[in-house]
Structure 1
């Protein structure tokens, strides 16, 4: 699920930064914050198994507009905030401090079947 900070072929690996404060959403699995359009166009950078790219229903089911605060995480392995939020193995990007929402039972089962853990705040 997590990636190294630098991919030798592609350069630095990081999540797309939101380009506007309108329509911001947070992934309910990893708390990554992007716009609805960004999740639709490129999916979640940490939770690729969710297959959000080009799937409006999956974006709606796996993200929420209800979250508090934002963390700009640049160096996940060295950040005390990343350790505190347990996101130190995620790609650099913008993350919610806390996320409100619950995944559907189908998504929870899908995550379980793919050996991914899901813990709510």
Structure 2
């Protein structure tokens, strides 16, 4: 696994950049409503998937934020546009931190070779 670690980090970073972009696109789409099951279902599915990959990589805060977003998206009664927007922003911000840490890790792996 050690030899595959840099590739795993790289795949996670690229995949996560895409996921964060999709989350932001979804909530900023014209007509997005936190009261609409049609809008919340894909949001919950995205959050669930991102939660899993973040957890596998040890990004615990990112995992927890994704869990909260998934929970709010799946429980329409507790969903509000304000909370959804705040969670997506928190995920975006936390991913930025994680990406920077993993970029440093990738550089360290390159120097060890």
TM-score, normalized by the shorter chain, greater than 0.5: no
Give the TM-score normalised by structure 1.
0.29
Q: TM-score, normalised by structure 2?
A: 0.31
- The structure that is strand-richer by fraction is 1
Greater share of residues in helix: 2
Which of the two has higher C-alpha Rg?
Answer: 2
